[in-house]
Structure 1
Amino acid sequence: MTVPDYDVAIVGAGIAAARSPRSSLLMPVSFSLTATSRARVVAQINTLPVLTELARRSVAAYTAIPNGFDNVGCLEVVRGADGKNWIQDRVAVARERKLEHSVLTTKEAQSLAPAFVHDDATGAIYYPNDGTANAKTHYRLGQTYTITTSDDAHTARRVVVATGVWAGQLCPCLASRAVAFAHPYAFANRHAPRTRMAPFARFPDAVMYVRDHGDRIGIGSYNHDPVVVRTAATKVLPTAYTPFQPQFTHTMDDAIRLLPPSTAATFAGRVDAQPAELTMLAAGNVPYGFTGVFTITPDGLPLVGRINLGMYAAIGAGSHAAGSMRVLADLIVADIRGEDAPEADEWLRAALDPCRFHPMADVECESHAVDKYKDIWNKKDQAKVLAAL
């Protein structure tokens, strides 16, 4: 009988694979797809308790790694007459979740992020313990062995599929459970690095966000009709950063107009990136837009856990990767030892179970995922949380 090369092989080179515990049992695999992880924003407030818990654990894990977490904080900026109601509701949720927060005036918010907060803002709420996770640092520290599947074939007793938007390519059963969506994003021209990076800012009414990447500002928007990227299309993608789609032009223009005029001006002359230009534009000083691709599940939670005997998934974890992979690692170690996984995390394993949508029809799964994209920050669930307080 042939002995497998490895106990566990992790297929994928993103932040989820990188945050697997460093040991001889868990091994990141260099798949034939290009790694796509950038620094992820981590916001701990969420109306879904599972995501709040995973974010808490992720922040704790990232903070323990040297240079693994930038504690820049998160601003939620409001505008218009309904802004005060939003802040009041978020304060109630933050208190219930025991998250540190403070309500700011427009001027106070501008003092933290002058490049992001326009004079027409009516206030903000600030979460000082949020920040950005440095995915490259996590990948370097998490790596023990590398297998390049295009060069050779290796065997493993257990496999973790952590390939993000390519999940359906390797595991067809996940195709309708991990639905890929196109998402527009743009970079401004470069600026001199600031002494302290600004908090990332979210604008709930406009469903857009903006953040400081160190030497340039980035902006993204969900304020558009959802665009599903089919499995057949993801098969030919070498990376999750793809050319800008013209249908998002007005979406990005509207988002940029919400920024202070001096900041909006740094996006002037924005180039809509084409395939041959992405690498050149990323290295240059010209403002440019591109289309990112990421996954959403029917209930907005990651797919993390056992698919079948010896096969596991870690899909859609994103900024919750560290917390999610701790849950998965405990499950895998328990399986290897023939023991029960920690009882305290049973509620998380049930919520993240990759098989939880069976036998929901594929078309129904996709429909729910589309609804989740439309409500990306779970505003509808906020009313339920507030009603229960």
Structure 2
Amino acid sequence: MTTQPRVVIIGAGIVGCSLAEELTARGWTAVTVLDQGPLFATGGSTSHAPGLVFQTNSSKTMTEFARYTVEKFSGLTLDGQWCYQQVGGLEVATTSERWTDLHRKASWAASWGVEARLLDREECAARYPLLDRERVLGGFYVPTDGLAKAVRAAEAQARLAIARGATFVPNVKVIDVEQAGGRVTGVVTDSGRLDADIVVSCAGFWGPAVGAMVGQAVPLLPLAHQYVKTTPLAQLVGTIDEAAEAAGPILRHQDADLYFREHGDRIGIGSYAHRPMPVSLDELAPSANWPDAGKQPSMLAFTPEDFEPSWQDAVDLLPALAGTKVADGFNGIFSFTADGMPLLGESRHVKGFWLAEAVWVTHSAGVARAVAQWLVDGQPETDVHECDVNRFEDFQLAPDYVHERSCQNFVEIYDVMHPLQPMESPRPLRTSPFHGLQRDLGAYFLEGGGWERPHWFAANERLVDGFEIPGRNDWAARYWSPIAGAEAVHTRDKVALYDMTPLKRLEISGPGALGFLQWMTTNNLDKPVGAVVYTLLLDRSGGVRSDLTVARLADNRFQVGANSALDTDWLLRHAPTDGSVHIRDITGGTCCVGVWGPLARDLVQPLVDTDFSHKGFGYFKAKQAYLGNVPITALRLSYVGELGWEIYTSAEFGTRLWDTLWQAGQNLGVIAAGRSAFNSLRLEKGYRLSGVDMTTEHDPYESGLGFAVRMDAGDFLGRAALAGKSPDAVSSKLTALTIDSPDDVVLGKEAVYLGGLPAGYVTSAAYGYTIGKGIAYAWLPSEASTPGTAVEIDYLGKRVAAAVAEEPLFDPKMINIRR
């Protein structure tokens, strides 16, 4: 490929135009943007988008995308007309649950650096006089939120791109994306062919059709969403400049699934309260026909019966609307995904084919910047693992799954969602061989990655009376039981079985396996057979993509404990193509029991045919053995900080493995324990969770993982970026905090204050039943990470006192693990 790649962007909506501008600004000027519709109201979602930009999101990444969009659009004009109006954004609460949730949102804003404040009902009414103040408990206000004029912003950016050399071609239909040798080579349209080194699908809800041209799944669902405009409102007539369109803030009434914006003297109302309305692309007219037809293909006929309940809710909140009626409305098509996040990144199967799909106007410029950085620089500055198109497991690409989950995301878009709230359907999808046995013990299952994961067991309720387990407030007590605390303490005192089957396992083998893993990871894996090594995957800038546990089971065969499908994708992308390395996901065909606690050896040793003593089977070692009749691979490691093993076998032996351990452990007081106890125990030991505690935005030294980096063990991916870095030369640090108040169990993403000002944010949190304190890990400036430093955590509207603690909080000399 030349230094000036030929880029074809499919789609001239807000994302395609933003990407063209971002690419040309970075010197990539051989950019062609194609669209099947006219420029720049192409007939897609951008053309009818109401343009409301609310920046604050539970996702740091999505908030950063929105914040950049505001920053960029605020500086754009088109022929003297504005592209963005910072009229402010107001979200109001009419229920106590929503009012509490707005306090959470205010904490997110402080965490992610968005200026925001909570308002009482009088302040809400002052900013939005049409409100029925008696219905409002309070509100959340962001002064920089506002209105984006989407088509105008698209054209403004397109003009900048064109001035730098980009070409925009309207009214052409893409027929095919050509490829050769696993790489895109060109795009075929109904008007001819274009050579291309890179093709980026920014086609919005048409994306699945484009992806199908190269065999790339684009798991999004087009759904219709209702939007209406009222007749003129007497209170607004003559008060708003027609060119400005709006004077008051954009408004969300999420308790009724509604949002509002001004259109001069009329009010626009959007509703998510109606039934999901999935749309088949086969039923839509081509975009090229829409100017003549007079109706955009993305604007379907309004169904007034679906809007009737929403109209009443709108009038209840804004009584002045009773003097108006719906003047016009439509059902507009937007893209939804199974997890509510965009689809970004390069196809692993077809190099050079990229996606920037399921992106709304709110996040458009931020997404475009990230994708442009990804293309030009090799990676984006913002961590995008939540948005990477390769994040899905195979079952999550099933059309029925995409359909059901996308529809449910539409239903839940404005719901108050608890951090632990699982999907309710389709379940169960993935179950370990122990699932039936766990149900017999009264397991309370939550779902993650499609797996049914026991969080505690009703059979252990009898243990609660023996321990003092602090209670919790209503919010923290959801998806929790005091039984979890009893299971954690019991693990420290005796022995427990943990189902670790959902952890992703890869087998990497072949004559080139060692060399490949040495290049891909940070630690030295050139150890004897039977060694286990904790190591990291980094990107080129030294950011932490993931952490791995690698067991060398034979000279050319390794078992790799990974975190997600993205780890598999990353390794497959970098694997040599000469057949010297084979990578196989073995998760579904295997299972794992974690046997941990001071009595773990008393349980396991009589059952196995080899020495499991500390001398015969040291820490971070692996052995293949028989446990009773079951062939096993045992890894001597522990993420709960106690003596024990991860014991693996093939799925066919799973029930036998569990039964053998369970029956032999009865006289030792063995229990089954769940993930709630596991999370508490791992935080007491300071063990990190990839993608939560650290991401590509953090290097190993900031993350407290410098011990897993061997700069003297040869070259590895990301090594050059770490040169000169050390734990003593970091500006921010993942820091352990303890909370004395047992009632205040934070859950993650809360803002941390130092000296009364926001200084960082919580990643993982739990109550530490062994140490008798709440635990929160947080990103803080390095100067604030000194043990004993007093901080405050913004939790549900109150400041909770916390203190920086030296880690690990439990067993710092590793005595328990190395018994």
1:156-175 matches, cutoff 5 A: 156-157=195-196, 158-172=198-212
Partner of 2:73 in structure 1?
A: 62
Q: For 2:394, what is the secondary structure of its paired residue?
A: coil
* More moved, 378-387 vs 88-97: 378-387
1:308-347 residue pairs with structure 2 within 5 A?
308-318=350-360, 319-334=362-377, 340-342=378-380, 344-345=381-382, 347=383
Any residues of structure 2 matched to 1:124-135 within 5 Å, and which? 124-135=139-150
Q: What are the superposed Cα offsets for residues 352-389 of structure 1, whole Å, 9 maximum, x if unpaired? A: 22232241222222222222112214631557896124
Mapping for residues 189-338 of structure 1, pairs under 5 Å = 189-190=231-232, 191-192=237-238, 194=240, 197-234=247-284, 238-266=296-324, 268=325, 270=326, 287-307=327-347, 308-318=350-360, 319-334=362-377
Alignment of 1:18-97 (within 5 A): 18-22=17-21, 23=24, 24-32=29-37, 34-36=42-44, 37=46, 38=49, 40-66=51-77, 67-97=82-112
Deviation string for 1:33-76 (max 9, x for gaps)?
Answer: 73342452211111122211211222222223233321111111
CA shift for structure 1 position 142:
2.4
Q: 1:83 to 1:352 in 2, by over 3 A?
A: closer
**Contact 1:46 1:378 (8 Å CA) reproduced:** no
Give the length in aligned residue pairs.
Answer: 360
Measured after TM superposition, the shift of residue 99 of structure 1 is 2.3
* Conservation of the 8 A alpha-carbon contact between 2:67 and 2:366: yes
Matched, 1:387 2:747: yes
Deviation of residue 186 (structure 1)? 0.5
Return 5+ residue gaps in structure 2 as ranges: 174-189, 288-295, 422-475, 477-745, 751-819
**381, 387, 391: which one pairs with 1:356?**
391
Moved over 6 A (4+): none
The answer on 1:181 being equivalent to 2:186 is no
Whichever residue aligns with residue 114 of structure 2, its letter is L
CA RMSD after TM alignment: 2.8
Cα distance in 2 for partners of 1:166, 1:289 equals: 23
Question: Is the contact made by 2:64 and 2:112 (CA closer than 8 Å) also made in structure 1?
Answer: no
Change (3 A) 1:176 1:265: farther
8 A Cα contact 1:187 1:219, kept in partner:
yes
**Letter of the 2:17 counterpart:** A
Structure-1-length-normalised TM-score: 0.83
State the TM-score, normalized to the length of structure 2.
0.41
Comparing 302-311 with 71-80, which one deviates more in the overlay?
A: 302-311
Deviation track 1:281-333 (CA, whole Å, cap 9, x = no partner) reads: xxxxxx11210110111111111221331221111211100000111112222
Q: Does the C-alpha gap of structure 1 residues 341 and 387 become closer, same or farther in structure 2, counting only changes over 3 Å?
A: closer
Q: Give, in whole Å, the separation in 1 of the partners of 2:10 and 2:265.
A: 32
- Kept in 2, the 8 Å contact 1:298–1:368? The answer is yes
Q: CA deviation at 1:159?
A: 1.9
Structure 1 equivalent of residue 605 of structure 2: none
Q: Which has the higher helix share?
A: 1
CA distance in 1, matches of 2:415, 2:98: 17
Retained in 2: the 8 A contact 1:47–1:378? no
1:375 to 404, 412, 433: 412
Which residue identity is paired with 1:61? K
Map of 1:142 onto structure 2: 157
| Structure 1: segments with no counterpart, 5+ residues | 271-286, 335-339
- Which of these two proteins has the greater Rg computed from alpha carbons? 2
Deviation at 1:81, TM superposition (A): 4.0
Distance 1:174 1:222 in 2: 30
Contact 1:10 1:160 in 2 (8 A): yes
SS of the equivalent of 2:332 reads strand
Question: Quick one: structure 1 residues 26 and 329, their matched pair in 2 at CA, closer, same or farther if it must change by over 3 Å?
Answer: farther
Distance 2:210 2:372 in 1: 21
Between 297-306 and 55-64, the greater mean CA deviation after superposition: 55-64
Q: Deviations over 1:70-117 (max 9, x none)?
A: 111111111144453233333333333332222222232122122355
Question: C-alpha displacement at 1:236, in angstroms?
Answer: 5.4
Identity %: 25
Taking the aligned partners of 2:226 and 2:120, their CA distance within structure 1 comes to: 30
